[in-house]
Amino acid sequence: MAWVAAVVLVLEALAILFLNYALSVVVDRQHMSMAGMDPAAMSTGAWVLGAVFALYLVCCAALLARIAVRDRPPGTFGRIVLITCAVVHAVLGAFAVGLVGWTAFALLMAVLALLVLTLTAYGTAYGPGGSAPPATAPTHPTH
């Protein structure tokens, strides 16, 4: 499941890059401005913000790929990053219903489901001190 989520996040990052590139080109060619802001600054801002968000998604995908390769749950930092990614998808999904439509909402909720499923499937296997609990063989009762 972590592999699927990683691939989906990489595809989403590419889509975000393309979308923000298209938005920056439209803003630049139409000379759009808000509150007197320079159109070139708005175009650059759209491109940079899209690149930063895509980089965040790629980092989350790399974390998911690492989880899949090692077949171990993420540590505390990795779990926090994946939870923030899930929350971002939930909030984007809420906005997508009104702005884009139900298809975008369904896609974002599918990514959210993949993230939550990955987080719950791997659970937490760490004991005190951040180490994995020792594996013990079952013993027979003694009399």
| pLDDT digit string, tens, across residues 86-132 | 999 999 999 999 999 999 999 999 999 999 999 998 876 555 555 55
Question: How much helix, strand and coil, in percent to the nearest 5, is found in the chain?
Answer: 75, 0, 25
Residue 62, CA atoms < 13 Å, CB-side half-sphere = 6
d(CA 16, CA 58) in angstroms, rounded, equals 11
Binning pLDDT at 50, 70 and 90, where does residue 134 land?
A: low
- In contact, 130 and 74? CB cutoff 8 Å: no
Mean per-residue pLDDT for 3-22?
A: 94
What is the value of pTM for the model shown? 0.79
d(CA 74, CA 24) in angstroms, rounded, equals 36
Binning pLDDT at 50, 70 and 90, where does residue 32 land?
A: confident
| pLDDT digit string, tens, across residues 34-84 | 778 888 888 888 899 999 999 999 999 999 999 999 988 888 999 999 999
Residue 64, CA atoms < 13 Å, CB-side half-sphere = 29
